[in-house]
Amino acid sequence: MRARWPVFAAIVTLGAVYICYPYATLYRLDIAMRQADAVTLGSLVDWYAVREGLKEDICDMAAGQPNDAPPGNELPPFGAGFVRGIAGNVLDQMVTPETVVLMTHPRATSLGSRQYTVVTEAHAASVSAPAVALDDEPALSAPSPGSSGSAMGDAKVVWAFFSSPTHFDIDVRAAGSATPIRMVMELRHLRWQVRRVWLPNDMLERATSGT
């Protein structure tokens, strides 16, 4: 029996590390947002995958518009490609770690180990992205599984738990919004990354118009 204790202890330790790992990643994401660390944000989020997912959501939203919608409530191939192209151009410029940092810290000059030009308040106000408005308050502090009310500036993490062994769901409720923002982290190559974000329709509309 004694010979089995080291094996049992190792299994318990690995299990604890596995369960805590996504919460630690969520905490690192919080710290990166508060410290205007675009380099760390770039490593914790798969920005290409997030942009592609948002483009699909915008196309789906456009396809559901009642005005001039074709039979079957689907966009024709040209229309879908046009909407995706317009949305893609906007999202490719706005959904980046640098833009998110400039939105939340408009006067930041040092982002991690890289240097960026100071932007004015007027310029920062003209740069909008489909992201939750954050300030210097604690952002993505990880809650206990299934708990609500973790601080996130103007928003709160209301849910953070596993949906599968390699997927971790996070719900963020913005102030004044009835529909939460949902994020999904995936475990790939022993690393958790945000790979999908679902935004409420009003945020998707602002992303399409660039306002």
In tens, the pLDDT along 176-197 reads 778 899 999 999 999 999 999 9
pLDDT score at 145: 58
**Among 29, 60, 56, CA closest to 134:** 29
Q: Into how many domains does the chain fold? A: 1
Given a cut of 60, whether residue 113 has pLDDT beyond it is no
Q: Which of 3-7, 12-16, 122-126, 173-177 is predicted least confidently?
A: 122-126
Model pTM score: 0.69
User: Domain limits at 147?
Assistant: 2-209
Mean pLDDT over 6-12 rounds to: 90
Given a cut of 90, whether residue 126 has pLDDT beyond it is no
| pLDDT tens track for 60-91 | 877 766 555 455 555 455 455 555 666 678 88
